[in-house]
Structure 1
Amino acid sequence: MTRPENVRPVWTSDEGTMAQGTARTRWGRIVQDMVDSMSSALAKNSFTAQKKSEALEIQHQLRILRQEIVNDDRLTPLNLRRDVDERWYNEHLGVSSQLSWRAAPWLFAECYLYRRVQASFCGSVFWHGHDIFKEQKDTTFINSQTAVQDLAAQYIINIQRGQQKYDSELVRFKEFSDMMQVALWGNATDLSLLSRPTFEDLRSLQKQCSAAMVVDDDLDQVWSYMTSPEYEASHRNIDIVLDNAGFELLTDLVLAVYLLDQGLAKEVKLHAKAFPWFVSDATPTDIESLMTMLRSRDNFPTREFLDPLCDRIAELMSTGKIAITQHWFWTTGSAFSEMPSRARDLLKYLSRRDLVIFKGDLNYRKLTGDGLWLYTTPFKTALGPLGAGSGLKILALRTNKADVCVGLKSEDQVRELDKECPKGGWLRTGKYGVISFSDGE
């Protein structure tokens, strides 16, 4: 069995990988969008002289960053501001001084990019805390009208208003499966992949919901655990480490409501990012904005199902049954295998929880070290110190948008996927996904 320490992460120089394509084309475009966003803000608003000056300086720094990416320059140290994470980046760059944008570990370089963006705003007085992606996130969510209304109707009609006794355990499992599928495929809407998403893009992605497209499906194991005497006797405390804002965030909130309403959880904590990250990742402010947008009749005029859903979410938040938290470790460049050495407090906390759900592609990449594993490697093995013997109950819900994927049952399955969606398409398009579970034993 391959050991985690013997598996290297994918590099942006690896020929034919999504990592290579991302470094060559996507990153420059994403940063250019940020430059354009600052231009738009300057054109639309009358700022004070100092605020305008700071905006122009931030825009200048973003232009420099974009040019470095386009030129494939070396990665340069961050300017330290008593930040332990910045020191970590600089230590890595000190050891590997030859790293460049197109010749670096993908995970490290991509996290470093967003750290550079954050540093541009942190040095400002008037723009400190500004979310350069917020307008894009909010607009995309409002453009998800049909999906939002459908999700609200599905929950209120089929679940909340239908809380009768189940005819069988099979019916109860079917409902559980449906809710997990909704949470999984909500992850298909990723703004870092859709730089300028259209309404048609969103509708197309949100329709690609099929259990047949789940290449590693451990849902039966999850259900067995969550209906076991061990789990029922536990505190039933669940954590969801969030990924994207917008529609996916709504699916996460609905999943939390479902778990609480059905007695599968007594408390759900949502882990948001401490600052804007990877274009569309959810921050605490995004959660507040989403609830405000959902309440708006201008944004969502049809209220029959949205009002009761919003009321239920608000009620659970007010009683603390749904709570929002954050930790600095979620916005580092570290794989989660470094949690025991870098964030012992977080690991200690998670070890006391009864289930930790990691949403999305980036969390999956960090769980598996973004490694070039054999696709048939067991998920628990790829987790390293968070897997076997850790005691952590980990569930990953992820649509595939990167080079790493584990948990496939056989080489025959890999060959079928390569035939069905050639040139690594099943790994990269977001049309396939995983529901991967580790019991930590």
Structure 2
Amino acid sequence: MSKSSSQVSNVNFQESRTSGQAKSVKEDSSTTPDFIYGGPFIKVDKDAKFLDTATPFNMPLQGTFKKSFAYYSLIERLPIILTKVIDYLSREGSKIKSTHNATNEDIRNLIQYITKLKNDLVTNKKYDLLTVDTPEAKRWNQWIGNAQSPYYFTNLWVFSECYVYRRLREGCELIKSLNKFDPFDEQKDKSFTNSLEPMCMVADKLFTMLPLSDKDKRKQDFITLIKLCLWANKCDLSLSLGEEVNLNAEGGSASATIVNPLQMIVDLKDMVLVDESAKICDTICTKAENMNKAIEAHPEEPQEVKSEEAQEPPPPEQIPCPAKMTLPQVTTFDIICDNAGYELFTDLCLAHFLIAQGIVGRVRFHLKSIPWFVSDVTPRDFRYVIKSCADAKFNKKIPPEPKADAAEGEAESEPTIINSENLNRLGHEWGNFVEDGVFVIMCDDFWTSPHVYKDMKKYDPELYRKLQFAVALLFKGDLNYRKLLNEMNCVPTAGFEPSLQGFTPAPVIALRTVKADTICGLPDGKWEELNQIDDKWMETGNYGVIQFCDKADPLPGGDEFTKL
């Protein structure tokens, strides 16, 4: 279908899904008040052709393919998320007014703004331009103006999704009292609180990994932490439409039973479709060692300078690569974060391990500067998680399992005690790491732009250069994965490196539980096999990939460091 097909309307469809499951709905049900939830609904009379098929291979992900996850997200998932924000504003208006010194009119104006945004989305209107007067908003308007088809369903899915969240932010920006309002912070905070038990378990384990260890143990612990970070990515409030998500050994996205995350690694071993964790460990340790030697051999390199672009990071605000530098001052590992709460906690655990083992001297966390995709990490969330770890109070006694074959008079096993003592210690140490510049927060605008990563050189060459100074880049989650694969439905057996289409500022690691219908690097026949089991397997988050590209563009400068 041509991208220039622009107008839509009466988004007619035979298939829609709720909670990831197919259901039959009457034709034109997207135009009913029941679907729109928070009217008024504005019907469009123009027609557009949609294809009743999944996204073909090597085609962009967009809402014109009615059996794609992109279509489902635009027609149902995103409208529900916006509806829940409207409900939250209505239900908790008094609390929001008190916290932000807002008025009833402020709340009503924001509700009206979001309602129109939702109606425009489901009826596939043309994008409205942003009206806030900032350089970043002006750039957005240029991108909208340059879009081949500036409509929700016929443009790239990632552009439309990012546009919706950027517009949601604009709704707050236009109301002075709500300029700092995050409609998702309560959900993110609750998600953290409900994950205290597994965090305490992981904290206890992490303290056995921090003392300097031999090469074999270091590698095994590194792999364990990578897999903890992978399965923590299941806790995605965007996928669950803002509902609480708990860890579940059976692979579901929600459960009343929280299990030991370390046991999950064992239980879900066969659900990791691509596992390059051993290669990641070997390559990063070797590269970091070589980087450290190169840095020690070049003490004349200039000092770091303060960034002018990072937004709201806590002090000290540092950026390790002004244009005149050809070496970082410290060997650095970068994490491009996804979800707050438990997932960020596991990212911090991995970062702490890399520091404690002397593999790197600094970890840079790339966060979102504004509320994004419900649960993505903002600077406020980053500080909240660290402080909440330091202040957590948790204590639970788990009785031993009864032994069916226990001999008479045999002493019972001791109960297992899970408490927050080690979690508190981690929170305090991480707070010190932030203060000392060992953990660095960065919030470049590119992460909340609609652009895929192969275009970073074009739209943000300065950020691309910053990334070149890292020993490796760890990209977390599904949105990052889609942008790495350039929002294309790749042939599933295509290699990870060619799928990046030249985005190699530094070695790239992708950890992702599969929540959208694009993937690469699978063995022959695996995609077909999984489709026979469940044709919606790519939307559940039950499967994961750990993928790695060790290629890296050389830094300018011509010294031996550029060849590492």
1:159 aligns with 2:205: no
Deviation at 1:145, TM superposition (A): 2.5
1:127 aligns with 2:178: yes
Choose which of 381, 384, 392 in structure 2 pairs with 1:289.
Answer: 384
Please identify the structure whose Cα radius of gyration is greater. Answer: 2
Query: Judging changes above 3 Å, is the alpha-carbon distance between structure 1 residues 40 and 300 closer, same or farther for their aligned structure 2 residues?
Result: farther
1:364 aligned residue = 481
Deviation at 1:343, TM superposition (A): 0.5
2:420 aligned residue = 303
Between 1:253-262 and 1:292-301, the stretch displaced more is 292-301
2:101 and 2:119 mapped to 1: Cα distance?
A: 27
- Unmatched 5+ stretches in structure 2: 1-56, 247-253, 295-329, 397-418, 553-564
Paired amino acid for 1:154: K
- Unmatched 5+ stretches in structure 1: 1-5
Paired amino acid for 2:500: L
1:46 and 1:393 mapped to 2: Cα distance?
A: 46
2:457 aligned residue = 340
Paired amino acid for 2:348: L
Choose which of 9, 14, 20 in structure 1 pairs with 2:71.
Answer: 20
Between 1:64-73 and 1:337-346, the stretch displaced more is 64-73
2:358 aligned residue = 263
Any conservation in 2 of the 1:226–1:232 contact (CA below 8 Å)?
no
Q: Deviations over 1:186-213 (max 9, x none)?
A: 1110001112424652656967542322
- The higher-RCO structure (CA 8 Å, 6+ apart) is 1
RMSD: 2.4
Any conservation in 2 of the 1:30–1:195 contact (CA below 8 Å)?
yes
1:412 aligns with 2:507: no
1:3 aligned residue = none
2:385 and 2:395 mapped to 1: Cα distance?
A: 12
Any conservation in 1 of the 2:212–2:357 contact (CA below 8 Å)?
no
Task: Give the secondary-structure state (helix, strand or coil) at the position aligned to 1:215.
Answer: strand
Any conservation in 2 of the 1:74–1:99 contact (CA below 8 Å)?
yes
Deviation at 1:124, TM superposition (A): 1.9
Query: Judging changes above 3 Å, is the alpha-carbon distance between structure 1 residues 230 and 94 closer, same or farther for their aligned structure 2 residues?
Result: same
Choose which of 376, 384, 402 in structure 1 pairs with 2:516.
Answer: 402
Query: Judging changes above 3 Å, is the alpha-carbon distance between structure 1 residues 95 and 232 closer, same or farther for their aligned structure 2 residues?
Result: closer
1:230 aligned residue = 290
Any conservation in 2 of the 1:225–1:231 contact (CA below 8 Å)?
no
2:195 aligned residue = 144
Task: Give the secondary-structure state (helix, strand or coil) at the position aligned to 1:411.
Answer: coil
1:399 and 1:297 mapped to 2: Cα distance?
A: 28
1:325 and 1:192 mapped to 2: Cα distance?
A: 23
Between 1:111-120 and 1:41-50, the stretch displaced more is 41-50
Any conservation in 1 of the 2:85–2:183 contact (CA below 8 Å)?
yes
1:187 aligns with 2:187: no
Paired amino acid for 1:247: Y
1:177 aligned residue = 223
Task: Work out the number of aligned pairs and report it.
Answer: 424
1:279 and 1:214 mapped to 2: Cα distance?
A: 25
Paired amino acid for 2:107: A
1:430 aligned residue = 541
Deviation at 1:257, TM superposition (A): 0.5
Paired residues for 1:108-123 under 5 Å:
108-123=159-174
1:320 and 1:96 mapped to 2: Cα distance?
A: 40
1:10 and 1:98 mapped to 2: Cα distance?
A: 14
1:10 aligned residue = 61
1:268 and 1:198 mapped to 2: Cα distance?
A: 29
Identity of aligned residues (%): 27
1:313 and 1:344 mapped to 2: Cα distance?
A: 31
1:253 aligned residue = 348
- TM-score, length of structure 1 as denominator length: 0.89
Paired amino acid for 1:230: N
Paired amino acid for 2:389: L
Task: Give the secondary-structure state (helix, strand or coil) at the position aligned to 2:470.
Answer: coil
2:481 and 2:126 mapped to 1: Cα distance?
A: 27
Any conservation in 1 of the 2:110–2:172 contact (CA below 8 Å)?
yes
1:291 and 1:277 mapped to 2: Cα distance?
A: 20
Task: Give the secondary-structure state (helix, strand or coil) at the position aligned to 2:233.
Answer: helix
